[in-house]
Structure 1
């Protein structure tokens, strides 16, 4: 009986300690110039790799601890990072302002393909996409492409076996950042946020790489320029994750030799 009593006390103490560790922050995000609440602002806890969005009143609640860093982003507004403090956790809701960006539309060039009516000539002028489509886990079964069929089969093989290549440097020297890939893929809110984005900002912040290096990682995995330019952030995440998993498997095989 005493053993059962001791077990109950231990479980009760553990549950209290666990609940105390689960702290949250609440906030309201508004337009700095108009004072109006902003709906669907993306909020990501970079420290714990979890995320959420604001509701129609600009409100959000997110699990966080003191000294965690939150990344706030919204289309047309300047993204900011906010440090979580003990006072914020203790005293409740905080109002955060986002400033609008001055948007400048770039010139869009549309290629004009003029048909001559001569089949042999017209065929030569039509761009052909030779990319091979395949499925990335967690995404619709229609699949996505990664170069031609031979590239899809040998994806990352040529780079991985060279210990000095770009992929090895990025993945081998930043294992902690690469561990975030699994955390990002496991959090539904993060995946939903990434699926709606095409700017790579959240990925670069979470993985702590710049946009050029992020594109280079995907390119070194033999994904085409078309895929890099058109894929949303979730597709890029899945592409990097798949390539990294292949890297780990082949790296272990190489060490056994």
Structure 2
């Protein structure tokens, strides 16, 4: 009888030990970048991201399913076994995600024979500013709204605008008129909206699939949810921080608030 009770106590203790959450330390191995890989405990609805060395820590229980995913890697699932739980360590090797495009032939097919290929080509090579020895712009191309804002602020002002001055103080008139009329303010708002829209698109592309696996939401509500997040004053600051964990935590809090608003 005593042996049976002892066995029963040990059995119960073992069940309790494995049913509790334990912090699991892990490391991602890959031939490409291992930072900011999403580590998701799908069973307990927990998530974290890897650091620059591919290391992470997350709470797990026996038989929990961990999902590893990123844009650069193929998704991989790992079920927590007794051996992993005892060692409290996990090493996962991820394969690079290679997007292979269908072969496309553009223009005439080249044979490898230089003289023959030259005879088969048509048109002239484009001339750039390097060819003619003049300086040229190699930076980021501005959007239409950014160019309009630049002009409204007096950058790159035309000759006729430069000639108009206020009381011989050598001050261009156009920026002053734009500021008084409110045109500059409107253009700044257009630029900010464009940047915010591009940021929102990037967040949707990067996080949608993974986030809605953990936080189910009807497809017709998902786009509305992201616009709900966009209205938050902290959206731009958080989503430009390049910290995936901060973005995920922000989305999770907004998700709870969004569901609360739907229920109300």
The question of a shared fold, defined as TM-score above 0.5 by the shorter chain, is answered with no
Q: Which has the larger radius of gyration?
A: 2
* TM tier relative to shorter chain: 0.3 to 0.5
**Normalised TM-score (structure 2):** 0.44
**Normalised TM-score (structure 1):** 0.45
Structure having greater relative contact order (Cα 8 Å, sep ≥ 6): 1
